[in-house]
Structure formats: structure tokens, C-alpha cells
A and B are shown apart, each in its own frame.
Chain A
């Protein structure tokens, strides 16, 4: 594809339900990031994948959050037992190499009701 693709664009879920957010990075990009952005705020780092290395999960806010990246490509961010404070835009980005220009998807707006 031409860019980073995220799905769904919007997700409304009931408190307590699990959600899965998907990110398709640009082909060939070895680095993949997940960030969270609350309304009017900056980007909060969640997790970072680089090639086959162990992911940097230090930004995940609780054990309800997990992410995986299969085959070095598609990544899924899973939030279990969603809470209202999880409501935010979840942004995925990829880059050809670590720390270089990052390409962002359009994000998934998650609303927990």
C-alpha cells in the first residue's frame, strides 16, 4: 500500500469489552510504533517494534494492553476490559529504520461508553 493503514477508523465499544486495533505498516519498514493521543494532548508512547527484536513495551499503561506484530508486518493492539479512560485516538507509525522519518496512519478513534 501507499501508506500506513489503520482499521477501524472509529470504534465505539461498551465498557468492559475487548477491542483489537489493526495497523498495516508500509512494506519494508522495520520499525513500528503505537501511540495514544487524548483530546488536545500530545502523543503518549505505548509500544515499539524493531525487526525481530523484543518489543519495547514500557509505555503500555496497564496489563490490559498488549500488542503483537506478526511476521514483521501487521500489528494488532489489544485492549482488554476497556475503561472510559481508554477513549482516545490510537496512532500507528512505521519507519524504514529506527528513529528516522516516521509515517503515520490516520488513527483509530476509540470511544468507550
Chain B
């Protein structure tokens, strides 16, 4: 089964609003990553947070990680129409295989 499970699956917001999406996972991890995908093609890496980190920022992105709850959230502040995309979390499990396991993704639509 997939490691990451994003919630909610689809989100529609007005430009300028904040968008928050969550990801939960099942096993211990080394790191968790968020990716964006436009038009069903290649994914673009957004941010990586390690298991010993609790929060990370990159521009308008803020990621939190709660290893006790095995969950992460991605916040996009002051959203723009160009943020319309699918967002995926991916986890690197600890002590085992080295594959990045992706969740099903969140579809975010930012309405101008």
C-alpha cells in the first residue's frame, strides 16, 4: 500500500487565500517530501523535511512534520492561479527499502 495519504483530495480556493493539505503515513521515515505536478506530467520537488525537523519554510510554502502522529501538512500562503496543480507527499522509510513512496495526491484549484 502507498505510504503517503493526502487529505483532502481536492481543494478549491480563491486567489489570495491559504491552502492547506495533509499527509499521513504508516511507518517510521527518514524524510518526507512534497512535490507538485502540473498537467499530469513530471513532478517538481518543493520541499524536503527530515524526521528530526518539525517545520520548514520555503518562500510561500510551510511544511510541518509530526512524527508522533505520523503526519505532515503543507501550507501555501497567498495562493496564486499558478499554484493550481496536484500536490503529492512522498516518504522515505527508515531502515529498509530506499524507494520514495508517494500518496494519491491533492488536486488544488486556485480561482483567479
Q: Are A43 and B102 in contact (CB under 8 A)?
A: yes
Q: What are the residues of chain A within 8 A of B102 when measuring CB–CB?
A: 35, 42-43, 45
CB atoms of A107 and B41 under 8 A apart: yes
Which residues of A are at the interface with B, using a C-beta cutoff of 8 A? 4, 31, 33, 35, 37, 39, 41-43, 45, 48, 50, 56, 58-59, 89, 91, 93, 98-107
The size of the chain B interface, using a CB distance under 8 A, is 24
Determine whether the beta carbon of A33 is less than 8 Å from that of B100: yes
Point out the residues of chain A lying under 8 angstroms from B103, CB to CB.
42
Residues of A within 8 A of B88 (CB): 42-43
Q: In the complex, how many angstroms separate the beta carbon of B32 from the nearest chain A beta carbon?
A: 11
Contact B104 A41 (CB under 8 A): yes
Stretch touching chain A among B13-21, B63-71, B72-80, B91-99: B91-99
